[in-house]
Amino acid sequence: MAATRIDRSRKPSKTEEHPLYVVRRSSVHGYGAFATRDIKKGEVVDEYLGDRITHAQADKRYEDHDENDNHTFLFIVDKKTVIDAGIGGNDARFINHKCDPNCESEIKKSRVFIVATKKIAKGIEIGYDYQIGREKDDPDNVDEVYACRCGSPKCRGTMLWPPKRPSPKKRRKKAARKTKTRARKKK
């Protein structure tokens, strides 16, 4: 059995083949996924794969994560499970966030699929709304750190959800999330 690979180089695989997209440099951020043919609404673009771990394991793994680095390959599946595509992940991890998305993530039997929500023309960048969760102890500059660069006229300016930071009073009341490490959620 091959050893689990920690792909911190953030470079796409040279051998992975996808029927629906190619990974190349994106004006949004780093690498992105681009349709290699017209994709129909409802088509599954890919499955989001990686190391399946608990929230506590994710927190431990990234406890030294720099607060000012917004990069994450984590995806929250449910209360128990987080997928870390930084370890053994496939190229679906290069699908960027879009505020006016053409895809969404669907969770079926604890597996995550990226599915087209509209027709995507060949050459268009594929993206879904990450809805990265806010936390009650977010630093004041959290919206700068998680600023969105999707470039859409509908851009809400942040990859975080909800889009506006709750008032300090509401933040105090908000229950603690399970994973302290930032991760995107189903959308």
Footprint on this chain of ligand SAM (rule: CB under 6 A): 10, 28-32, 70-73, 93-94, 96-97, 148-150, 159
Cis amide leading into 162 (omega within 30): yes
Out of 74, 82, 83, 99, point to the residue binding Zn ion (CB under 5 A).
99
Taking the complex as a whole, the smallest distance from the CB of residue 97 to ligand SAM amounts, in Å, to 4
Q: Residue 155's binding partner, choosing from Zn ion, ligand SAM, none, with beta-carbon cut-off 5 to 8 A by kind?
A: Zn ion
Least Å from the CB of residue 46 to ligand SAM: 12
* HEC readout, 112-169: EEEEECCCECCCCEEEECCCEECCCCCCCCHHHHCECCCCCCCCCCECEECCCCCCHH
Considering only 150, 179, 181, 184, the residue that binds Zn ion (CB under 5 A) is: 150
- By CB under 5 A, tell whether 28 contacts Zn ion: no
The answer to the question of residue 132 lying near Zn ion (CB under 5 A) is no
C-alpha 25: how far from its chain's center? 17
In degrees, rounded to 5, the angle at the alpha carbon of residue 185 between the alpha carbons of residues 182 and 187 is: 150
Whichever of 23 and 150 has its CB closer to Zn ion, that residue is 150
State yes or no: residue 83 binds Zn ion (CB under 5 A): no
Complete DSSP assignment for 59-127: HHHTTT--TT-----EEE-SSSEEEETTBT--GGGGPEE-SS-SEEEEEETTEEEEEESS-B-TTPEEE
Least distance (Å) from Zn ion to the CB of residue 105? 16
Q: Would you say 115 or 155 has its CB closer to Zn ion? A: 155
Q: What minimum distance in Å lies between the beta carbon of 128 and Zn ion?
A: 12
Q: Would you count residue 39 as binding Zn ion (CB under 5 A)?
A: no
The string over 126-142, giving b where at least 16 C-beta atoms fall within 10 Å of a residue's C-beta and e elsewhere, is bbbbbbbbbbeebeeeb
Is residue 44 near Zn ion by the rule CB under 5 A? no
If contact means CB under 5 to 8 A according to the sort of partner, which of Zn ion, ligand SAM, none does residue 31 touch? ligand SAM
Contacts to Zn ion by CB under 5 A:
99, 148, 150, 155
